[in-house]
Structure 1
Amino acid sequence: MANDYFFCGVGGSGMLPLAMIVQAQGNRIAGSDRSRDQGRTPEKFAWLEAHGVTLHPQDGSGVTRPEQIVVATGAVEDTVPDIGAARRAGARIVTRPELLSQLFNAAPTSIGVAGTSGKSTITGMIAWMLHRASRAPTVMNGAVMKNFADADHPFASALVGGPDLFVSEVDESDGSIARYDPTVAVVSNISLDHKSMEELRDLFGGFTARARTAVLNLDNPETAALAQRMVETGRGDAVLTFALGNDAADLAAHDLEPLATGIRFELAERASGARRPVTLAVPGAHNVANALAALAAVRALDVPLDEAVAALETFAGIRRRMETVGAANGVAVIDDFAHNPDKIAATLKTLHAFDGRLLVLFQPHGFGPLKLMKREFIEGFAGLLRPDDVLLMPEPVYYGGTTDRSVSSGDIAEGVRAAGRQAEALPTREACGDRLVELARPGDRIVIMGARDDTLSTFAADLLARLG
């Protein structure tokens, strides 16, 4: 029987794909979004309406009936008008993690992709390999998968397949990873991000313990320790490992060779002793690690390795993952989702494989992460920026509320300058854009970094137009 769902924040990167999957199951979808009310990303909301989603202002006016199921992003607070309206109407309220985990756990076979970094890319790689292998996966990603994007599906962060196989990113930042019972649990890496290391060890340990097969990275100390614990507790046969340059791993990569359009490496499979060349169309050693994780995941579902590699070599990437927007007057503009120290490091290392000064605009995704990872942000930028690179930072994304704002972009920039690198904090993103145009010269690469703000891509495109 069809249900009526109301998604609060329906245009969000996590909500939109979930709404599409729920709609494909025969349910009716409505929703609201603060971005729509503010006139941001109108093309996204026009697309949603064209695909049968009824949109309302985020003022509670769309929630009027007890039979509606209201989906909230995370914290369910009565101060959100739609939530208050749901309580008054007697409508059922579920959080996004609750709904997604219910769909995930209902599938007979599932792959959960977790870790501090790489989740969206690994999920996209797995989706493409399973799709090409005719496994008809249903996939929930937090970012647009280019292989599935076309004129009718510009926001292809979900793939609607059959009911028997569900692939999803799994988030540890809100603790919701504890809700998922995967057939295959992939953990790319574990490092400080939103929670303490002790909390993270407990969450990821439980996640892998509930899986039939765990795919773990031997290059990361925390995931390597997780693999070792599984061996010590008699579950060694349930572990598939991957690593760069380490033949102790079930899948290893050797002889990495950066290319202008991607990266080439030699894949070694421990079980068969076979080695074969692989060429990815996405750059960076981190994407080689992502590819190994994805290959191990589909191998756990018995996809032949040759078939998986052939599909992987045609993987086109994920939107806003080191995505080249274009070039004008000898200056390239790159749009990138990097927002924590690990992701930032991966991007800077990859871009520094080729010549050219980097002009980096980093928009933090909140004051909380700046305070939690102040030292890691400063050390990361100071250690990886070259002397002629320039870091520019506006203040973090801030939508109001009682967030602790004691650590600002200025504190990060000051620390980076104290370490001998060029960094400036400016009051607004627009001011940073003006400064980038002023600084840019032929041969430079401008990198727009940040998360949780769809307008960053628009900003990058507008910046390219100004450079031209």
Structure 2
Amino acid sequence: MSEPSYFFCGIGGSGMLPLAMIVQAQGTAIEGSDRALDQGRTPEKFDWLRAHGVTLHPQDGSGIRADMTVVATGAVEDTVPDIGAAKRLGATIVTRPELLSCIFNAAPTSVGVAGTSGKSTITGMIAWILQQAGRDPTVMNGAVMRNFADADHPFASALVGSPDLFVAEVDESDGSIARYDPSVAVVSNISLDHKSMEELRDLFGGFTGRAQTAVLNLDNPETAALAQGLVDDGRGEAVLTFALGNDAADLSAHDLVPLPTGMTFALTERAGGARIAATLNVPGAHNVANALAALGAVRALGVPLDQAVASLETFAGIRRRMEVVGAANGVTVIDDFAHNPDKIAATVKTLHAFDGRLLILFQPHGFGPLKLMKAEFIDTFAGLLRPDDVLLMPEPVYYGGTTDRSVGSEDIAAGVRAAGRTAEALSDRAACGDRLIDLARPGDRIIVMGARDDTLSQFAAELLDRLRA
């Protein structure tokens, strides 16, 4: 009989790959499949996995054995051949959230980072501060942390350290946040994204209620209500709050000054009265809020604030979070993960702090979110685009499966046009690329926005090449 192993279905995914690396570091053989591998997309990622001891198979069920534990995404359908084969053979099947939460809950000290926006950045900041403080954390992130990425680890969305301290980005979109029992629960903000507000309040309330310490944002009405709820329950000592410009918070930021590639601010600690000058090398007021969340988390773990602030100055950011791809002929190309109204608003506001027209390509991450948040998408773009900005949209990402496709990109573009701003929905991404090249002139910034599609970064790089030509 062959050695027992874990088989990750969709191993190239942003949530699967780092988890596979953490499981492999525990001494377990890793195998997997991915639809992107079969379709020839992002081959360099799969070459890297093979070079790091991962056995890859076609996603046709042929790689499944009865003695395997098969890891499926929460969204995977039974029609996927690997899952069908696992059921026929009697292999153990676990979902990614089940496996991750099991490892997370086994750690003596754990930090769960949740919220509608900012999770990956906050997780990366916490990881960098703890690593610099010599705490040797194991970290599970949903995006590449640039501080830990190098030639041998280009896909550094995981950091393998001690099993005694586990930091993880935690997802509410599939309800799996209910599985996590954190020592420290961080919630950046709560707004409409994948679930109704009633469901979200229940999920986040349970998450923070199970934690020893909850780090909560007073600037967001929903997270402020969570903080008040804990106080009303007699658990005020378990609450650590943060806010921009609000001295009532335990940690607050004042005197924010935007820089072309970062921010400066003054950090104030309510309890001790400390005031510390802070510098970030990632831009935008939203990243100051992210920094406060991270500082609150590490403060709960005993890292001195001045030491944590010093570490943040060398935080290099997260891949695809307003990442400058390059500039050519006076046009700057930016690659960005923004895919819901809050994230889009944060990016556009940050970029509008400096002069220059915005040419935005927004590829929606699915037909479902587009239908759920149609009004919010329209309001966000209509409210934030300047008269000379341009929004271009291809159809949403669609890799097959059953989904309601009744709302498409033209519905959003038409709503934005009705509000007096410039928006076009084109047949596909290639057509959007041609239009961007036609429109671009010196001083413009092209922003490629979207999630759930690794080829967006490649598309952004190709735009830069075309501008150079």
**Same fold (TM > 0.5):** yes
* Deviations 1:14-68 (CA, angstroms, capped at 9, x unpaired): 00000000000000000000001000000000000000000000000000x2210
Map of 1:354 onto structure 2: 354
* Deviations 1:196-244 (CA, angstroms, capped at 9, x unpaired): 0000000000000000000000000000011011111100110000000
Work out whether 1:240 is the aligned partner of 2:206: no
Taking only aligned residues, the RMSD between alpha carbons, in angstroms, comes to: 0.7
Map of 1:59 onto structure 2: 60
* Deviations 1:232-266 (CA, angstroms, capped at 9, x unpaired): 11001100000000000000000100001201001
Map of 1:392 onto structure 2: 392
**Partner SS for 2:166:** strand
Q: CA deviation at 1:76?
A: 5.1
Q: Distance in 1 between matches of 2:225 and 2:107?
A: 30
* Deviations 1:257-282 (CA, angstroms, capped at 9, x unpaired): 00012010010010110111101000
Q: Distance in 2 between matches of 1:399 and 1:43?
A: 20
Map of 1:181 onto structure 2: 181
Q: Distance in 2 between matches of 1:276 and 1:161?
A: 30
* Deviations 1:257-310 (CA, angstroms, capped at 9, x unpaired): 000120100100101101111010000000000000000000000001111111
Q: Distance in 2 between matches of 1:3 and 1:156?
A: 26
User: Which 5+ residue runs of structure 1 have no aligned equivalent?
Assistant: none
Query: Between the two proteins, what is the percent identity of the paired residues?
Result: 84
Q: Distance in 2 between matches of 1:410 and 1:419?
A: 14
Corresponding letter in the other structure for 1:5: Y
**Partner SS for 2:266:** strand
Map of 1:130 onto structure 2: 130
* Deviations 1:353-402 (CA, angstroms, capped at 9, x unpaired): 00000000000000001110000000000000000000000000011222
Map of 1:423 onto structure 2: 423
* Deviations 1:404-430 (CA, angstroms, capped at 9, x unpaired): 111110000000000000000001000
Q: CA deviation at 1:75?
A: 3.9
Confirm or deny: 8 A CA contact 2:387 2:421 kept in the other structure: yes
Which residues of 2 match residues 196-235 of structure 1 at below 5 A?
Answer: 196-235=196-235
Q: TM-score, normalised by structure 2?
A: 0.99
Corresponding letter in the other structure for 1:282: V
Corresponding letter in the other structure for 2:451: A
Map of 2:6 onto structure 1: 5
Corresponding letter in the other structure for 2:263: I
Work out whether 1:30 is the aligned partner of 2:31: yes
**Partner SS for 2:290:** helix
Q: How many residues align?
A: 466
Q: Distance in 2 between matches of 1:289 and 1:458?
A: 30
Q: Distance in 2 between matches of 1:332 and 1:214?
A: 39
Q: TM-score, normalised by structure 1?
A: 0.99
* Deviations 1:108-162 (CA, angstroms, capped at 9, x unpaired): 0000000000000000000000000111100000000000000000000000000
Map of 1:299 onto structure 2: 299
* Over 3 Å off, 4+ runs: none
Corresponding letter in the other structure for 1:419: A
Which residues of 2 match residues 359-374 of structure 1 at below 5 A?
Answer: 359-374=359-374
Q: Distance in 1 between matches of 2:67 and 2:40?
A: 30
Confirm or deny: 8 A CA contact 2:276 2:306 kept in the other structure: no
Which residues of 2 match residues 334-345 of structure 1 at below 5 A?
Answer: 334-345=334-345
Map of 1:286 onto structure 2: 286
Corresponding letter in the other structure for 1:4: S
Corresponding letter in the other structure for 2:432: C
Corresponding letter in the other structure for 1:49: R
* Deviations 1:65-104 (CA, angstroms, capped at 9, x unpaired): 2210000011453311001111121110000000000000
Q: Distance in 1 between matches of 2:113 and 2:209?
A: 14
